[in-house]
Amino acid sequence: MFDLGPHATFIWATYGAAAMVIGGLITWVILDGRALRETLARLESEGRRRRPVAKPENGN
C-alpha cells in the first residue's frame, strides 16, 4: 500500500467519496435506462396485441 503520510485518511476519503458519487451516477443512469427500455418494450408489445384487425371488406 502507498505511504500517503499523516493525512492518508483524508486522501483515501476523497477518492472514496469520488468513487461513491461517480458510482452512484453510473448506477442511476444504467438502472433508469434499463427500466425505461423495459417499460417502452412492454407498452409497444401491448399496443401490437390491442391493435384492431382490419375487417375484411365483403362488399355488403
Partner 1 sequence: MQRFANPNKFMAFSATLMPWLVGATVLLFLAGLYVSFFVAPPDYQQGETVRIMFVHVPSAWLAMMCYGVIALSSFVLLVWRHPLADVSAKAAAPIGAAFTLLALVTGSLWGRPMWGAYWVWDARLTSVLILFFLYIGLIALRRAVDDEALAARLTAILALVGTVILPIIKFSVEWWHTLHQPSSVLKIGGPAVHSSILWPLLVMAVAFICLFLTLHLAAMRNEILRRKIAATRIMRVERAAAHQAQPAE
Q: Interface with partner 1 includes 15 (CB under 8 A)?
A: yes
User: Which residue in this structure is represented by grid cell 467519496?
Assistant: 17
Residue 21 to residue 56: CA distance in whole angstroms: 59
* HSE, side-chain direction, 13 A CA sphere, residue 24: 6
Q: Could you tell me the three cell numbers for 12? A: 483515501
Binding-residue pattern over the window 31 to 60 for partner 1, x denoting contact by CB under 8 A:
-xx--xx-xx--xx--x-------------
Point out which residues bind partner 1 (CB under 8 A). 2, 4-5, 7-8, 10-11, 13-15, 17-18, 21-22, 24-26, 28-30, 32-33, 36-37, 39-40, 43-44, 47
